[in-house]
């Protein structure tokens, strides 16, 4: 599991690669922490680019739920983009598409969060 960061205007985009499962969820949560801290009312909006995520388990969903709660408490803005078909299905079944704003393309998410 790997995270890389880039900027689209004032929006921070973190691309996630690999699986977010039992073996990698803690590493994912730890690697995401610095980006979440800055995702506040005064900080940068955050887009998680899931184009490289081929699987997310329930423990991975838990890490995402904690991230969403932290960002909400900080009055930040976060979205997820480019879900693979398998991960999109997991999001629909678990109703995580109601927890996060989900976009087909990273650019669309960045444009929306920049408003």
- Domain of residue 79, CATH code: 3.30.750.24
- Domain count along the chain: 1
* Domain that residue 67 falls in: 2-114
Answer yes or no: pTM beyond 0.75: yes
At residue 91 the predicted structure's pLDDT band, cuts being 50, 70 and 90, is very high
Residue 40 has pLDDT above 90, yes or no: yes
Asked whether residue 60 carries a pLDDT value surpassing 90, the answer given is yes
Model confidence at 61: pLDDT above 90? yes
> What is the token pair recorded at 67?
């991230």
Q: Tell me if 55 sits within 8 A of 92, measured CB to CB.
A: no
Strands (E), the chain: 2-8, 11-20, 46-56, 78-81, 101-103
pLDDT surpassing 90 at residue 1: no
* Six token digits for residue 55: 């699987």
The SS3 call for residue 7 is strand
Q: What is the rounded average pLDDT of the residues 3-26? A: 97
């Amino acid at each position: 599991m790997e995270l890389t960061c880039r900027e689209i205007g004032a929006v921070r985009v973190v691309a996630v690669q690999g699986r977010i499962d039992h073996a990698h969820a803690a590493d994912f949560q730890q690697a995401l922490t610095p980006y979440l801290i800055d995702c506040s009312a005064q900080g940068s909006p955050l887009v998680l680019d899931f184009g490289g995520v081929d699987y997310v388990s329930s423990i991975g969903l838990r890490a995402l739920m904690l991230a969403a709660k932290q960002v909400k408490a900080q009055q930040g803005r976060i979205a997820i983009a480019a879900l693979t078909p398998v991960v999109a299905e997991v999001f629909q079944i678990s109703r995580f598409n109601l927890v996060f704003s989900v976009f087909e393309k990273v650019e669309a998410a960045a444009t929306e969060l920049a408003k």
